Structure 1
Amino acid sequence: MIYDGDEVEQELCVDLYWSFRSPYSYLALHHVRALAKAYALRWNVKVVYPLAIRTPDFFKRMDHMWRPYLLIDTQRIAESLGMPFRRPVPDPIVQDPRTLLISLEQPHIHRLTRLGAEAMLRGRALELVDAVGTMLWDGSVDGWNQGDHLARAVAAAGLDLQDMETAIARDPQARDRLIETNEAELRAAGHWGVPTFVFRGEPFFGQDRVELLLWRLRQHGLQARSN
């Protein structure tokens, strides 16, 4: 159904559920940038923890062919999109590479995801996941957690790393509650994976569903940007 009148004139909003460890979330940035540039869309980015944290036994239950296929698939998608691609160094998740067991201590992903939550509170979550996600996945940085790599990426999003981490340290539980709310809303929308786009309660899972999302948005009066 195509809406008319005032509803068409309003800027449409898409919720994007996103994880710093998900290669497909990184690859989705290509499409998000293009849509943000071309259309009058408001992006409501909601960071969540990766499945390795939300469902620690996920790797025990999956078929042994899943991970090799993932590596092949993500590399070729990146090549097709012209996106530089390499898994982050270090991995945001502390995980045994042989057994795939997840460590109880997870300093990297907690830090990154809380930064994402803080950016949500400051209204710059899209900018943060774009800048930091690119820094993690484009292969330009070794040791992203050392030196000023993370600070520079956060600054590119128009934010200050030290200021954000000071705010998080004052009340980390508030950021954790926001992340938990995002995860609950993702499931309530009808999915568990990332990236998931949600428009008016309808989920579109995966970076390869953007064309289908665009088709639905056009049914609701999606407008091209005038400039």
Structure 2
Amino acid sequence: MTDFEELSLHRDSCFWQLSLVKWWIQGHGRDGYSFRLLLVPLVLVCGLEFVCVMFDALYSGIIVSAVATLFLGIAGYYGAQREWLVTSATTRALVKARMKKASERFSSLGVGATVLAIFVAATSLSLVMSGQPMLDSVSKDAVSIFIALVFLPVYVSGAVRKLAIARIEELEALRNATVGTKLKFDRAGAVRAVVVRGAAGKGTVSVTQYTVLGFSPPLEQVGREPHA
């Protein structure tokens, strides 16, 4: 048995192995990455928020928006990185480009929501000033609250993907300018992460990132003398 085979590697949470997560959070379609699938949870949030506003359930709407924002933020950030961890360098470059496009689309949706909220407020004000109050204060506030609660998860979904891309680019730089120097273990004694050092500085990468991206030296030689 080789030294590498003796190493026990940290296993990912079962959460990331769920088909629904791969399909929903990481954007897998029949032909691979699909931006449309990323919109599914946001459409569900929109429907729930509409029901909450219709029944004046403001606190319920806030809770729905907060939970969706937290979930899509955390899962979206790590899901984007996992989507990129494929063995083919060409595919990685393609996935990263599609991530950037998706984050820009989310940002565009967020800007569109801001413009819509301003339009509603300006239209209501102009109608009031002309003596034709189409939207009363309560209705205008309800529309503004609805827009804010729905598009907060949209904004976060775009922002976390930009952060994920920044982390991906950091890993690419670390791979080219550092070497593994130390292993980190989880409570079960399995290798969880690797500390890398070099001209680009110091960093920590997960064992999956280290092995899939081809950091050097090989995992079984990390922390050992070259002749060992």
TM-score band (shorter)?
under 0.3
- Structure 1 or 2: more helix by fraction: 2
